[in-house]
Amino acid sequence: MSEIKSGHFIAAEADGFRYIEKSSPGTTHLQWLTYGVYEIDGTVATAAIAHPGEEALLFCWEGQTRVTLAGATYDLSPYDVLYIPRSEAYCFSSDGDRCRVVVCRAPAENSHPPYYAAWSDVRHDERRIRRLKGKDVFLMFDVSEGADKLMAGYTFFQPFQRSWPPHNHTDQEEIYIFLNGRGAMEVYAEEETKSFVYSVEAGNAVTIPILNYHPVFSQEDPLEFIWCIAGARYWVGDKNEDFMTGKVSELTT
């Protein structure tokens, strides 16, 4: 007979872990992207998590945590990114730090290798940075990494800047998730009928369906956000040089 083990008392205020789903194709006009936030509070070791039929990207927003995936362990610090292959199980563990991790997922038919991007490396790698007027774009999960639909990075606006030129996509949908700062964002198919104009701050997110323009404006503080794409895998400035030079008033890719 095996040893009889003791029970545990779990107080209402005990350390914990939860997932909050913020948006999905069922609640937005997006076709593929689902967005949520994991909140880790204290000493935690989760059961396995998987997304059947979907690939995912984890963005460490605040705090530190460990993710075990396919037999490997990844230590995530703020702004690190981890790609989760289709249907692959993973779990979180933490020794007491409070942490928030953003997750974006999309359907996939193929399995690709895991990929870890450390912010401490990418922020100094000019091959991964696109420098625009008043803002920098960091390609955290680029076309050089394997995936079916997902691609993502960060954009950092200096104070009092705007997106230029406004652009839309014929084959990509997007979500912007704001991490720091304050600003504004518009989403519209035509300038004449534009009605989506919102102030944005840390914790807000905006979905961008296909063929919608989506300019961002920063205010008195720097503005930082995740951009996550599902669809064709390219970054607009690498596909069309006019975006980098700002020589046009609007752009469709």
Examine the domain organization and report whether 59 and 89 are in the same domain: yes
Q: Of 114, 147, 163, which residue constitutes the final position of a domain?
A: 114
Examine the domain organization and report whether 198 and 151 are in the same domain: yes
User: How far, in Å, CA of 196 to CA of 28, rounded?
Assistant: 14
What residues are paired with 171 via a beta bridge?
none
Average pLDDT, the chain: 95
Write out the E strands in 181-222: 182-187, 196-201, 205-208, 216-218
How would you classify residue 95: left for phi > 0, otherwise alpha for psi between -120 and 50, otherwise beta? alpha
Q: What is the percentage of the chain residues whose pLDDT exceeds 70?
A: 100
The predicted structure's pLDDT at residue 210: 97
- pLDDT tens for 130-172 read 999 999 999 999 999 999 999 999 999 999 999 999 999 999 9
The predicted structure's pLDDT at residue 132: 94
Examine the domain organization and report whether 20 and 59 are in the same domain: yes
Examine the domain organization and report whether 104 and 123 are in the same domain: no
Q: Of 114, 147, 178, which residue constitutes the final position of a domain?
A: 114
Report if residue 32 sits inside a domain.
Answer: yes
The predicted structure's pLDDT at residue 8: 87
pTM: predicted TM-score of the whole model, two decimal places: 0.95
Examine the domain organization and report whether 91 and 199 are in the same domain: no
User: How far, in Å, CA of 93 to CA of 97, rounded?
Assistant: 10
- pLDDT tens for 9-67 read 888 878 899 999 999 999 999 999 999 999 999 999 999 999 999 999 999 999 999 99
The predicted structure's pLDDT at residue 1: 67
Report if residue 9 sits inside a domain.
Answer: no
What's the total number of domains in the chain? 2
- pLDDT tens for 182-202 read 999 999 999 899 999 999 999
Q: What is the percentage of the chain residues whose pLDDT exceeds 90?
A: 86
User: How far, in Å, CA of 209 to CA of 224, rounded?
Assistant: 21
The predicted structure's pLDDT at residue 79: 98
Sequence-distant (6+) residues with CB within 8 A of 9 are none
Q: Of 69, 89, 114, which residue constitutes the final position of a domain?
A: 114
Examine the domain organization and report whether 133 and 71 are in the same domain: no
Report if residue 157 sits inside a domain.
Answer: yes
Write out the E strands in 34-161: 34-45, 54-62, 65-69, 72-76, 81-84, 90-107, 115-117, 129-132, 135-141, 150-157
What's the token pair of residue 99? Answer: 């942490």
User: How far, in Å, CA of 11 to CA of 137, rounded?
Assistant: 44
Examine the domain organization and report whether 124 and 226 are in the same domain: yes
Domain range for 217 is: 117-233
Examine the domain organization and report whether 229 and 125 are in the same domain: yes
> Could you tell me the CATH number of the domain that includes residue 156?
2.60.120.10
